[in-house]
Structure 1
Amino acid sequence: MSETLAPYIALPGTAGDAFVHWREVLGGELDMLRYGDGPPMEGMPFTPDPQAVAHAVLTTPAGQIAGGDAMGQDEEYPVRGTAYSLLYTADSPERARAIIEAFVAGGGEVNLPFDRAPWGDWYGQVFDRFGVMWSLSVPA
């Protein structure tokens, strides 16, 4: 097996909907396991909701995203407003615009309009309806 690296996102109970939406927007193959799909997990410090996502992997044409529902958190689990974004490098400005439009149509909002950046590439940012920031880039 070769090594891989993928961002892993823990969402506050919205992972199932988020991963399905991301597959609709980006394409690819989705593998998702809910806690209720497997055997009981002995020794866990909490009892997970059987419908909560234990682990999901979306394999897109551009790479993989992994994640699941945050479990056992006593406080609000922040998604939006944190210091990260997912960088998706598209093969054309038209493809990047289509991705942004799909996120907006799905309840998201533009954070930075997609346009030529000072460094010469195309670049923009959009928050999806789950609060995840997507940075879209196209090399000059």
Structure 2
Amino acid sequence: MNDVAKQVPTGGVTPHLTIGDGKASDAIAFYVAAFGAEERGRMLADDGSRLMHAHILINGSSVMLNDDFPEYNGGPASLPASVTLHLQVDNADAWWNRAVAAGAIIRFPLDNQFWGDRYGQVTDPFGHVWSIGAPIPA
């Protein structure tokens, strides 16, 4: 087992994102800028260019990602895309503003919701939907 694999926690559920067009490294840079991600490690594929595996932490939770390998799975277009990644944070406005400044596209505007959270959704440049929520400030 390599050092990157040892860092992924056991138990729970860890999202694993496949990024198309060889842009997994760009996705990591975006997640650092948009969500304050911390890169824990990465491994290149044997071709020396595509990212086979990476591990980042966002808001204390693990996210794994890799470049697309269409020769194995048919590419991202063939995969279901009905997932929203939720970030429950301390300050929704701060996280929201950082994500939008980094290039996220507003999908569902940030606003106070009836269930008691300040909540909204953005789409990252790689097609993944992120929801951001925090309790409405008193």
| Common fold by TM > 0.5 | yes
TM-score bucket of the superposed structures, by smaller chain: 0.7 to 0.9
Partner of 1:63: 61
1:35 aligns to 2:45 (yes or no): yes
Say which SS state the counterpart of residue 88 (structure 1) adopts: strand
Task: Tell me how many residue pairs correspond in the alignment.
Answer: 124
1:84 aligns to 2:83 (yes or no): yes
Higher alpha-carbon Rg: 1
Partner of 2:10: 3
**Kindly tell me: are residues 76 and 54 of structure 1, through their superposed partners in 2, closer, same or farther at Cα, counting changes over 3 Å?**
closer
Q: CA deviation at 1:114?
A: 0.6
* CA-based RMSD: 2.4
Unaligned residue ranges in structure 2 (runs of 5+): 1-5
Instruction: State TM-score, norm by structure 2.
Output: 0.76
d(CA) in 2 for partners of 1:134, 1:97:
14
d(CA) in 1 for partners of 2:51, 2:108:
31
1:105 aligns to 2:104 (yes or no): no
CA deviation map 1:83-132 (0-9, x unaligned): 1111000112xxx2232223322332100111111212111001111111
Identity across aligned pairs (percent)?
27
Say which SS state the counterpart of residue 76 (structure 2) adopts: coil
Structure (1 or 2) with the greater helix fraction: 2
8 A contact 2:111–2:118 mirrored in 1? yes
Aligned equivalent of 1:130, options 96, 120, 126: 126
Matched letter for residue 102 of structure 2: G
Q: CA deviation at 1:75?
A: 4.7
